[in-house]
């Protein structure tokens, strides 16, 4: 099984910290966000390769990081060729690039490179394997639906984790479960990903792809992560996560 990490964003909301450094190499709790993610991935026996997609601005610095990284499994870094926030390929475009460039022909995990969590991945993968050829998404309980209003993708699911509805930043969320940006894709969905990218090249956010799979290749399932989770989207989130993970 492969792990694909998307790290081709330009993190403009974190300027000037991210002008010459990708967000994933910012330190949180004594190690970079990317090292924390790779530590989680290295603990999963099924994972045999980590595939990192970045852009032209950060390709050299992430290649240098890869050469020094302590990893049980090999890491490959791919350059999506973009140079600015305005020309970026987006998550779906970079996923398409990763699948083709790395010749992925197996189940794989897809991760955003700016998410920090402290639960290990073993239960999520076990849960996903049991669902057979279905997409599984990770969710986090934010506690109060009102806190998700206008900010996060919201998932409503039944007791078995089967997704009933998905909404992107709704003003009146139906649940307090929000998407974490961590997905399990079975091999059976690789061709549908190609189809979606070909038919909807303008829809580059991951939520578009997930919703399309929800409609065209149901069912999909959600898995509730426990413990800590931070989406490092701005300076406030970075500072808060650094405080919490440093104490931990």
Q: What is the 3-state secondary structure (H, E, C) of 14-64?
A: HCCCCCCCCHHHCEECCEEHHHHHHHHHHCCCCCCEEEEEECCCCHHHHHH
- Tokens standing for residue 143: 């506690």
Strand 2-6 relative to strand 49-54: parallel, antiparallel, unpaired? Answer: parallel
Q: Please state, in angstroms and rounded to a whole number, the distance separating the CA atoms of residues 155 and 182.
A: 13
Give 159-189 as a 3 state SS string. Answer: CCCEEEEEEECCCCCCCCEEEEEEEEECHHH
Q: Please state, in angstroms and rounded to a whole number, the distance separating the CA atoms of residues 50 and 124.
A: 18
Beta bridge pairs of residue 32: 27
Q: Which helix (H) or strand (E) holds 224?
A: strand 221-225
Beta bridge pairs of residue 2: 49, 108
Question: What is the pTM for the complete model shown?
Answer: 0.95
At residue 151 the predicted structure's pLDDT band, cuts being 50, 70 and 90, is confident
- Site of tokens 């506690």: 143
Per-residue pLDDT, 205: 87
Helix axes 206-216, 90-101, angle to 10 degrees: 80
Per-residue pLDDT, 168: 86
- Tokens standing for residue 208: 């578009």
Per-residue pLDDT, 247: 82
Per-residue pLDDT, 211: 93
Range of lowest pLDDT (142-146, 149-153, 188-192): 149-153
């Amino acid at each position: 099984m492969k792990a694909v990490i998307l790290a081709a964003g330009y993190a403009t909301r974190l300027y000037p910290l991210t002008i010459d450094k990708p967000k994933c190499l910012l330190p949180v709790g004594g190690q970079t966000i990317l090292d924390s993610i790779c530590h989680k991935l290295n603990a999963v026996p099924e994972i045999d390769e980590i595939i990192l997609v970045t852009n032209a601005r950060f390709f050299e610095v992430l290649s240098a990081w890869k050469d020094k990284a302590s990893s049980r499994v090999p890491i490959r870094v791919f350059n999506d060729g973009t140079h600015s926030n305005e020309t970026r390929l987006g998550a779906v475009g970079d996923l398409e690039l990763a699948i083709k460039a790395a010749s992925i022909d197996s189940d794989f995990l897809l991760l955003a490179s700016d998410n920090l969590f402290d639960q290990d991945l073993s239960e999520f993968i076990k849960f996903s394997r049991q669902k057979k050829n279905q997409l599984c998404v990770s969710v986090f309980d934010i506690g109060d639906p009102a806190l998700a209003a206008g900010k996060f993708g919201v998932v409503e699911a039944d007791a078995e984790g089967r997704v009933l509805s998905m909404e992107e930043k709704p003003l009146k969320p139906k649940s307090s479960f929000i998407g974490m940006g961590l997905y399990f894709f079975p091999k059976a969905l690789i061709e549908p990903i190609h189809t979606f990218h070909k038919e909807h090249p303008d829809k580059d956010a991951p939520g578009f792809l997930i919703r399309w799979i929800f409609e065209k290749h149901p069912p999909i399932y959600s898995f509730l992560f426990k413990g800590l989770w931070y989406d490092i989207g701005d300076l406030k989130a970075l500072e808060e996560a650094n405080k919490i993970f440093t104490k931990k």
